[in-house]
Amino acid sequence: MQYHAFVIKYAEIGVKGKNRYIFEEALVKQIERVLSKCDGEFNVTRVNGRMYVDAKNFDFNETVDQLKTVFGVTGICPAVSIERNGDGNLPDVAGISKAVVDFVDGVYPDKKKTFKVKVRRVDKSFPMDSMELAAHLGGEILDAYDEMTVDVHNPDILINVEIREKLNIFSEVIPGPGGMPIGTAGKAMLLLSGGIDSPVAGYMIAKRGVDIEAVYFNAPPYTSEKAKQKVIDLAGVIAKYTGKVRLHVINFTDIQMYIYKQCPHDELTIIMRRYMMRIADIIAGQTGCMGLVTGESIGQVASQTMQSLMCTGEVVTDIPVYRPLIAFDKQDIVDISYKIDAYETSILPYEDCCTIFVAKHPVTKPRAEIIRKHEENLAEKIDELVKTAIETDEVIVIEK
């Protein structure tokens, strides 16, 4: 079956009034953005709370794969869509019957199936009501194909027939990612490491319509170009959904060395984390980000006990820190990582700036007042080092 249209389903955008318009506009824009990457000619339209993609000379799988990356889309329904004729009329009952019978034949070469016809009649001027038309179309299908039988409770095929501004016939609903369209919520700064968790955290926040800017703390020569490339690739995974990620690569080596020299080694990770948060906070302020995002999850490692989270969180005072994975088990995070195609990259074995200086026995219950005290040992140089790190920020724009 060669389709030429998709009915796009979207759920949460059922916001009323002016907001609804903003969300739908953003959704159209995002759909157009991903389709511009596909071969073919596409036309995205929005009519009476329904969204359509009309397609010509296109590759079905490529197009569906792209539509699956648009947040806000809950279902992608390959459809036969018939326009009104010059007089503004839809096909009559006989015409609709023929279209539905042909649709079934085209999509289901194997007819050993149970089915149900569901009619939605938005155009109330149509002479039959929904129930009558559904019964009639069911009869036509049964007449045409001996092997098909009706099952109204649990059919193999649910054939949707919509009488609206046009006639739509579709059965398959390919799940979309859900969420809210990018561009409806502002921007956040993701602390992106090369691990499994932070890309998933970024994906989850982006799924709420949030544009993502990212920061990676690099420690050359202790960490390699490959480790940096891995983070660039992970930013690319998120950019697939958001269109673009601006990645700030911060050279953290001197700060890390200085902390190593001046502070107790069992507090190294915590103090490093506090400086990562502080720097991310400053860059967020400079770039209009309304929150920080991390991949932290309670208890996952020593630096993520509740005491540690208190210590790292307290240095960010002006904007919220979003931790979407806070209550997730590792396996649940891994499942999402797989689903978004980040996992294979995340598990590549390149060193991370935190693993290099890590203490054998890091504190698991740091106390903020003690950490603050030990940070006083950094007074002489730290402000200058932070300033330099921010001034030498390398910005890499990743567009997908």
Question: Which H or E element spans position 138?
Answer: helix 130-144
Q: Does 193 bind Mg ion (CB under 5 A)?
A: yes
Q: Which residues contact 345 (CB under 8 A, 6 or more apart)?
A: 230, 233, 234, 237
Q: Which of 278, 261, 269, 284 is nearest to 387 (CA)?
A: 278
Which of 2-10, 76-84, 296-304, 373-381 is the region at the interface with ligand ATP (rule: CB under 6 A)?
296-304
Nearest approach, Cβ of residue 198 and ligand ATP (Å): 3
387 Cβ contact list (under 8 Å, min separation 6): none
Q: Does 345 bind ligand ATP (CB under 6 A)?
A: no
Binding mask 250-279 for ligand ATP (x = CB under 6 A): --------------------------x---
- Our CB check for ligand ATP shows the closer of 122 and 356 to be 356
- Only segment of 57-65, 95-103, 142-150, 193-201 that touches Mg ion (CB under 5 A): 193-201
Run of H or E including 119: strand 114-121
Binding to ligand ATP by CB under 6 A, coded x per residue (else -) over 172-201, reads -------------------xxx-xxxx---
Contact 8, 53 (CB under 8 A): yes
8 Å CB contact between 235 and 243: no
Site for ligand ATP contains 216 (CB under 6 A): yes
* Pairwise CA distance, residues 185 & 341, whole Å: 24
Write out the binding residues for ligand ATP, residues 217-246 only, by CB under 6 A.
Answer: 217
Task: Pick the binder of ligand ATP from 66, 184, 303, 345 (CB under 6 A).
Answer: 303
For residue 197, the minimal CB distance to Mg ion (Å) is 7
State the DSSP H helix or E strand holding residue 142, giving kind and residue range, or none if neither. helix 130-144
Least Å distance, CB 163 to ligand ATP, is 50
Determine the 3-state secondary structure of 81 from DSSP. Answer: strand
Binding residues for ligand ATP, rule: CB under 6 A, are: 191-193, 195-198, 215-217, 276, 294-296, 300-301, 303-304, 352-354
